[in-house]
């Protein structure tokens, strides 16, 4: 924690790549969510973004070298006092210097004195990211416990595209918060695994403009996909109506609309998956007929619409799963006269037959459309773990721990 108050003390390292301009948005997000941020740019980063920008937005002085403010010994003190170091963008050169323990500027010196979690968000051209030298440096940093994010894919500086884009600043901020909540939340333990996650809420069309839907924002499913990708898994995210959420870095996103489309996408994706998580809110019913034209108001009461039952995708995935595949379901529950949330959760786990069930209490502003989540993780083996209130990424990290233990 910073000396002056109890806000977490974050060092934001910025290396010299064109993506340095995005570090300004990350800085903004980190300060707005209550972090005390000290920016450590490299000399090259200052070719891209002015020191005044970092100083104004962080409210703290900004130096690149180790010879400014010598009496306070910043090259040792800053790292020692930090709760988290985030380096975004981390260039190939910065990763090389960090991997080899160089201390030739304030940022790399601070990386050597920091004992807190360190998060690198790489950004470079695909050739540099894929070069054996960079691969070795990344492996070395990960082996020592640093979190090196998988970069996003897409348009790079010029006309070229491929892996190497800086992950979205919102995503970096999300993982930064996760590491402050739980420093060991992102081990690279899903490397070589394939996982499939569903997210969002299906919509069942009544006519060209109306649908039966639900309030799921998709954020929990996106957090599950993001955390799995950063723990090394190859991830397919089947996403239903999550328009305002950006694609997580290094995740293959398949967009669907209705429950039946979601079912089709899941069945196609899970064939060779090691784990499947059904976080989507699937509509249980759909109109038997979708009107071709907009249903008119007419006079008096509306004509009743017949509903058909949608397939239970989770139950089907459990029935047809391949040997060793771990299947996780979600249950949004409210307590009632017949039992509490946990009671209904246990019954649902037995009914669905999945390996793990995350049970959330819903209603009264809980779970839906909010950043935080809490609940219980129930295992078919009888285990029960309380998931304390925290970010959706924190809940995701607990789910993946349980999945890894069963793989």
Is the Cβ of residue 40 or residue 259 nearer to ligand C5P in the bound state?
259
Burial state string for 169-207 with b = 16 or more CB within 10 A and e = fewer than 16? bebbbbbbbbbbebeebbbbbbeebbbbbbbbbbbbbbb
- Which residue is catalytic, options 214, 310, 360, 373? 214
The answer to whether 312 contacts ligand C5P (rule: CB under 6 A) is yes
User: Is residue 189 part of the contact set for ligand C5P (CB under 6 A)?
Assistant: no
Q: Does residue 238 belong to the site contacting ligand C5P (CB under 6 A)?
A: no
Stretch near ligand C5P under the rule CB under 6 A, chosen from 98-106, 275-283, 300-308, 399-407? 275-283
214 is catalytic: yes
Residue 217 contacts ligand C5P per CB under 6 A: no
Residues, the chain, total?
407
Does 278 bind ligand C5P (CB under 6 A)? Our answer is yes
Nearer to ligand C5P, 177 or 286 (CB): 286
In angstroms, the CA 249 to CA 269 distance is: 19
Q: Nearest approach, Cβ of 313 to ligand C5P (angstroms)?
A: 3
Please say which residue, 82 or 283, places its beta carbon nearer to ligand C5P.
283
Indicate whether 282 belongs to the interface with ligand C5P (CB under 6 A). yes
C-alpha to C-alpha distance for 244 and 223, rounded to whole angstroms: 14
Rounded Cα distance, 375 and 358, in Å: 7
Nearer to ligand C5P, 25 or 261 (CB): 261
Stretch that binds ligand C5P, among 38-46, 114-122, 290-298, 329-337 (CB under 6 A): 329-337
**Closest approach of Cβ 271 to ligand C5P, in Å?**
17
DSSP string for 344-391: HHHHHHHHH--SEEEEEE-BTTBSTTSSEEEEEEEETTS-EEEEEEEE
Cβ proximity of 149 and 121 under 8 Å: yes
Task: With CA atoms as reference, report the closest residue to 40 among 54, 50, 30.
Answer: 54
Q: Which stretch binds ligand C5P (CB under 6 A): 210-218, 294-302, 323-331, 393-401?
A: 323-331
Among candidates 273, 174, 264, 269, which has minimal Cα distance to 224? 174
Question: Per rule CB under 6 A, is residue 401 in the interface with ligand C5P?
Answer: no
The Cβ of residue 407 has, within 10 Å, a number of other Cβ atoms equal to 13
Q: How far apart are CA 113 and CA 106, in angstroms?
A: 11
Binding range to ligand C5P, per CB under 6 A, among 17-25, 185-193, 230-238, 280-288 = 280-288
Indicate which single residue of 314, 377, 394, 403 sits in contact with ligand C5P (rule: CB under 6 A): 314
375 in contact with ligand C5P (CB under 6 A): no
Q: Are strands 384-391 and 372-379 parallel, antiparallel or unpaired?
A: antiparallel
- Judged by the rule CB under 6 A, the positions of this chain that interact with ligand C5P are 259, 278, 280, 282, 284, 310, 312-314, 329-331
User: What are the catalytic residues?
Assistant: 214
């Amino acid at each position: 924690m910073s000396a002056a108050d109890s806000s977490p003390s974050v060092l934001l390292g910025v290396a010299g790549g064109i993506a340095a301009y995005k570090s300004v948005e990350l800085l903004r997000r980190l300060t707005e969510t209550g972090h005390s941020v000290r920016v450590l740019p490299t000399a090259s980063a200052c070719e891209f973004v002015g020191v005044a920008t970092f100083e104004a937005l962080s409210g703290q002085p900004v130096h690149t070298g180790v010879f400014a403010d010598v009496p306070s010994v910043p090259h040792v003190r800053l790292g020692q006092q930090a709760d988290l170091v985030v380096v975004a963008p981390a260039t190939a050169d910065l990763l090389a210097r960090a991997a080899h323990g160089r201390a030739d500027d304030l940022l790399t010196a601070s990386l050597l004195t920091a004992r807190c979690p360190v998060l690198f968000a790489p950004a470079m051209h695909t050739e540099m990211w894929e070069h054996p030298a960079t691969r070795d440096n990344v492996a070395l940093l990960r082996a020592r416990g640093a979190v090196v994010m998988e970069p996003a894919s897409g348009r790079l500086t010029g006309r070229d595209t491929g892996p190497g884009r800086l992950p979205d600043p919102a995503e970096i901020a999300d993982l930064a918060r996760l590491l402050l909540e739980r420093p060991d939340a992102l081990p690279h333990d899903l490397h070589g695994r394939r996982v499939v996650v569903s997210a969002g809420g299906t919509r069942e069309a009544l006519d060209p403009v109306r649908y039966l839907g639900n309030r799921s924002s998709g954020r929990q499913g996106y957090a599950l996909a993001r955390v799995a990708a950063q723990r090394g898994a190859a991830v397919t995210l089947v996403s239903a109506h999550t328009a305002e959420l950006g694609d997580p870095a290094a995740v293959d996103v398949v967009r669907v609309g209705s429950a039946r489309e979601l079912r089709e996408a899941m069945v196609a994706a899970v064939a060779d998956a090691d784990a499947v998580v059904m976080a989507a809110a699937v509509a249980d019913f759909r109109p038997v007929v979708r009107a071709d034209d907009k249903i008119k108001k007419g006079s008096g009461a509306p004509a009743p619409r017949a509903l058909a039952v949608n397939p239970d995708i989770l139950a089907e995935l459990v029935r047809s799963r391949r040997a060793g595949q771990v299947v996780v379901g979600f249950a949004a529950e409210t307590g009632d006269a017949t039992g509490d949330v946990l009671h209904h959760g246990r019954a649902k786990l037995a009914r669905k037959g999945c390996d793990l069930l995350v049970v959330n209490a819903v209603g009264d502003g809980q779970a839906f459309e909010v950043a935080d989540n809490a609940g219980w993780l129930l295992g078919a083996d009888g285990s029960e773990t309380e998931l304390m209130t925290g970010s959706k990424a924190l809940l995701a990290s607990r789910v993946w721990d349980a999945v890894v233990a069963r793989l």
